[in-house]
Structure 1
């Protein structure tokens, strides 16, 4: 049996703790994974994994061998790229996950432009305003907006997500405009269901502050939150990547400009740098270049007279 494939199987099983999950990732049968593991143990001359009906764990020999196996796979992958990447066209299916609002505002257009450059890449995009389990949902790349990253995945920064506290002119006409953070306690506020509790977090004069508020409307979807604020439900905090046209047109009014909401990171998340498809690596590079500098926060060019 191919020794490099056996090493790859061992690493996948060690990373996932499951023959079944490794088989799905490698598109093999579980029986074939077991045969490759047995072959690897024969070549190493040692048992690499403890197997029980409930779990797998590395033996001392497996723990010692795993770093060298990772290095071997990295070297093989680098050699493959050097030998054939120059003339190879990326292809295959990329499974992506992202929040609905970011997908709607920016990611979908970016993916379409990427496919115009690489027409043999098929994209499957799943949207949800909650974290995606890359392993169980077999996602190649998740674009996630958060400052709390899972250390088990690789995260590449793409951009920053700034937010703005805002309300509709109709709401402000009925209820008045808050002038201080403390005024928010007397206002109706709308919130994301996966938010940070009954408070807003700001930075003011370089100091972090938390302002307690009362929510009157909750939703788990940023697009619905925006629609509620536009309809006059109350004061809301929304990402600037989604509100540029609303702010410029005056449909929403920014509030408390001296209070900066917490800035979040926009990250490309994937499981491993090993055996990464060419299409995935090119897409991550494309998105990093596309979103660098948060283009949605840049002022539009000034009109010139003809």
Structure 2
């Protein structure tokens, strides 16, 4: 028999095992929910493929040949292995367990996901989480991760998605800085003001503002450029200038009055802008470990936004 020829007679092997175990074609047929004639044909086909007689048929009983006895042991191992595989699958699909690999942007991972995951680990002791913090775009199918959190206005069409929260980039400054500089009532007032921006792309200092039908483009300049939102916020707190940061990063400082929001009536378009989505490969057999983590994060973030 060739290397892969057994693939054509797997069904026949299972039927042969049932015949050998039950001692009759009729009993095997009842077990397999097929006719005795179909059982006989499958055993005959297996014998033809193997090139040997497996069962001696008499009017009173069936008896395995020496070859048949050896084939029975080997085929039984195959059936047991298949049953074991089914049990493993059932085990992992019945309850949440195992490792979930999740990627997310740095600031969002620290401020939003990290606190939620700590609570999740307490609730689901059999589920482990690997949080991979990266600002690069990750394709879960290509890079072998279970879940990806991405900020986007339009989720990829080839992935399933669940929205977590809206993310806005805002401008803020310390009261001291605002006191020592001219008032900022319009985006154009940012010209000549020390501004802090990402600096990852050529046009990161080209800020576009929208208010209704109005659009204002302003090219800003500043003495400190940093592609880390918390560092920009720290610089804002020190009075270095006006900084653009995600709203969730600035939330605590805004609440305490350590910083004030600038131009709140204007929407600042930025790369870090849109809806945070959990993305994952579309699969109707989504593992329970992934499903419970997705549901937990959605509920946790919604509760946090409601309390904010």
Superposed pair shares fold, TM > 0.5: yes
Number of the residue aligned with 1:164 = 170
Distance 1:270-1:299 versus aligned 2 partners, 3 A rule: closer
Are 1:266 and 2:276 counterparts?
yes
Match of 1:184 among 164, 186, 190: 190
How far 1:121 moved relative to its partner? 0.5
Q: Match for residue 60 of structure 1?
A: none
Question: Which residue of the partner structure matches residue 138 of structure 2?
Answer: 132
Q: Deviations over 1:134-176 (max 9, x none)?
A: 3443221111122254333333211111232111223223333
Query: In 2 relative to 1, CA 266–85 (structure 1 residues): closer, same or farther, beyond 3 Å?
Result: farther
- Equivalent in the alignment of 1:76: none
Distance apart, 1:258 and its partner CA: 2.0
Counterpart for residue 141 of structure 1: 147
Answer whether contact 2:254 2:261 (CA < 8 A) is retained. Answer: yes
Deviates more, 1:180-189 or 1:263-272: 263-272
Residue 267 (structure 1) shift: 0.5
When Rg is computed on C-alpha atoms for both structures, the one with the higher figure is: 2
Instruction: Give CA-to-partner distance per residue, 1:79-122, whole Å, 9 cap, x none.
Output: x9xx9699932001111111221122121111122222211011
Q: Is there any run of 5+ residues in structure 2 with no aligned partner, and where?
A: 1-5, 9-85
Distance 2:154 2:236 in 1: 27
Aligned equivalents of 1:86 and 1:132: distance in 2? 26
In structure 2, distance between residues paired with 1:86 and 1:122 = 14
Quote how far apart the aligned CAs of 1:187 are: 0.8
Partner Cα distance (1:200, 1:230) in 2: 21
Q: Please point out which of 236, 240, 245 is paired with 2:243.
A: 236
Question: Which residue is 2:299 aligned to?
Answer: 289
Distance 2:147 2:92 in 1: 24
How many residues are treated as equivalent by the alignment? Answer: 220
Q: Which residue of 2 aligns with 1:246?
A: 253
Superposed, which structure 2 residues align to 1:59-74 within 5 Å? none
**Distance in structure 1 (CA, Å) of the matches to 2:215 and 2:286:** 39
2:109 is paired with a residue whose SS is helix
Inter-CA distance 187–124: structure 2 relative to 1 (3 Å threshold): same
**1:106 and 2:112 matched:** yes
Asked if structure 2 preserves the Cα contact closer than 8 Å seen for 1:100 and 1:222, the reply is no
- Tell me how far apart the structure 2 counterparts of residues 189 and 179 of structure 1 sit (CA, whole Å): 15
Matched, 1:116 2:126: no
Query: If the length of structure 2 is used for normalisation, what is the TM-score?
Result: 0.63
Gaps of 5+ in 1: 4-79, 301-306
Pairing partner for 1:153 from 136, 159, 162 = 159
8 Å contact from structure 2 (residues 197, 244) kept in 1: yes
Secondary structure at the aligned position of 2:143 is classed as coil
Over 3 Å counting, the alpha-carbon distance change for 1:152 and 1:299 in structure 2 is: closer
